[in-house]
Chains A and B, each alone.
Chain A
Amino acid sequence: MTGRTAYVVGAAHTPFGEAWDKSYRHLMTDAGLAAIQDAGVQGEDIDEVFVGTMSTGKLVGQEHVASLLLDGAGLADQHLPATRIEAAGASGGLAFRQGVQAIRSGAADVVVVGGLEKMTDVSDADQAAVTASGIDQEWEHFFGATDAALHALIAKRHMARYGTTREQLAAVAVKNHAHGARNPLAQFRRPITEETVLRAPPVAEPLGMFDCAPTSDGAACVVLCSDAVVDSYGGKAVQVSGSGQASDTLSLSDRADLTSWRATEHAARRAYQEAGVSVADVDVAEVHDAYTITELLAVEDLGFVKKGEGGPATVEGRTGDGGDVVVNPSGGLKARGHPVGATGIAQVCELTWHLRGTASDRQVKDARIGVAHNTGGTGATAVVHVLEGVQ
């Protein structure tokens, strides 16, 4: 990579879960101020702001949120450019990439990137409508498809093609809940057993309640800076060494292969190439496990394991604590929670803590290279970032 480099110098997110006592703007302000404090930046140092959020209009009746959130942080008088980014589940990851590009282009030296969603205190119908708005409304949802049902079709195809078992899917949830139990900011902090997953009420066969990420409230924020100013922000910097984004057909029905997400493959290839790393170098990854099946697709399409081996690899502990690459040490979307727009930013927060060596009792030992992977819908958008510790 030539030219300017972006660094993460501040990272924070709110506890994920139900935050009925906090308004939308309070959640973002909490995360934003904590990230700014972590970085040690002043309001007047900030050049630009991005925020990733999927559905404020449907969930809280508010669009035009970038200026609103900047105002909430007490920064309206700086008159900064503030932009909202949306790509369903990938909204946070795309907002982060916009921040990285603003720094690389020379347009900014310090960028604040937030992500948030407030989803739990609305009706089930509104929640369902929002989740479904990331799939094709006219040609999937209208005919009875839900986001979970489409993922169930992917799971069944993966099972038929690669011999993936129901128990292997369950192993993803068991692993991520065990990880979440060590994360004080996670929505679910209790280990679960395979039996819990298998006996949960069905959602769309073979997926049950414990195969699906929960709905959550939460906000996350990171501060990015350029190499020109990184030295003034202390020794906590983590380098963003690769950034890749890709897309695919919105409808699952238009894919030649249901069991690989091409957008993930392309985004990963671009990010690894830019970073000059090979997949074997990756120590820790935060991947988009909106469903148990999507973690299997992710570890395969990111190249951590061979295609079709995601299930056995999970059962054998190759993606768990002490494995080849520790996947979702935070608990992932499954246990940390999934306030949609916040997820992509929370992934970067988690990696930043591991690469700084400050992830307390869930610290991945000697973590040097981390990968963040964030997707939208059934993989029509994917964004992958490579982060490296600076020592």
Chain B
Amino acid sequence: MTVPRFWREIPQRYNLQASKCGACDAIHYPPRTVCPECRRASIGNLEEVKLSGRGTVLESTRVHKAAPGYEAQVPYTLALIQTEEGPVITGQVVDHDGRAVSAGDDVRAVFRRLGEDGDAGVIYYGTKWVLA
């Protein structure tokens, strides 16, 4: 099964739903079922939290050979985003109109169409980032 076909069953992917460990307060995205620091002590002790969608660019690259489904967007900017809550997220920085994206730039999350499944024609959505 390809990723697009099961995206709807994973709301965390498009609404930045993270997990918070009740033992150490660490926040993880994507959400975890076990905290890697507390392990056993965290089981059954994780709560859902929503990330603010604010972060900064940790590092970025201009992608010229696209991931499948992204061909029409090249060149596009892919970045590691350091969220203000702690987790680092991989995603596209869009709508920067030729302005260079640099490490340290402030960004915020936006909800966007990511593409569609070639066979089933199902449109799927997720998080992208814009300069704040």
Contact = CB atoms under 8 A, between A and B. Distances in A.
A131 to B, nearest CB: 10
B63 interface: yes
A204 B61 contact: yes
Given A143-B90, A144-B91, A258-B59, A252 B64 contact: no
A41 interface: no
Nearest to B70: A144
A149 B88 contact: no
A76 interface: no
Contact of B61 (A138, A142, A153): A153
Nearest to A253: B88
A205 B62 contact: yes
Contact of A156 (B3, B61, B88): B61
Interface residues of B, number: 34
Contacts of A345: none
B57 to A, nearest CB: 11
Contacts of B75: 202
A204 B92 CA distance: 13
Nearest to B7: A142
Interface string B27-70: 00010000000000000000000000000000111111111101
B90 A251 contact: yes
Contacts of A128: 65, 67-68
B60 A153 contact: yes
B30 A129 contact: no
Interface in B71-121: 73, 75-76, 78-80, 87-92, 103, 114
A143 B63 contact: no
A125 interface: yes
A148 B65 contact: yes
A203 B64 contact: yes
30 contacts: A128-B65, A138-B10, A141-B3, A141-B67, A143-B92, A143-B126, A144-B70, A144-B73, A144-B78, A144-B92, A146-B63, A152-B61, A152-B63, A153-B60, A153-B78, A153-B80, A156-B60, A202-B75, A204-B61, A204-B62, A204-B63, A204-B78, A205-B62, A251-B90, A252-B90, A253-B89, A253-B90, A254-B88, A258-B59, A258-B80
Interface of B: 3-4, 7, 10, 13, 30, 59-68, 70, 73, 75-76, 78-80, 87-92, 103, 114, 126-128
Given A142-B126, A205-B62, 12 more contacts: A125-B68, A139-B90, A142-B13, A143-B78, A143-B127, A144-B78, A144-B91, A149-B61, A153-B61, A156-B59, A202-B62, A253-B80
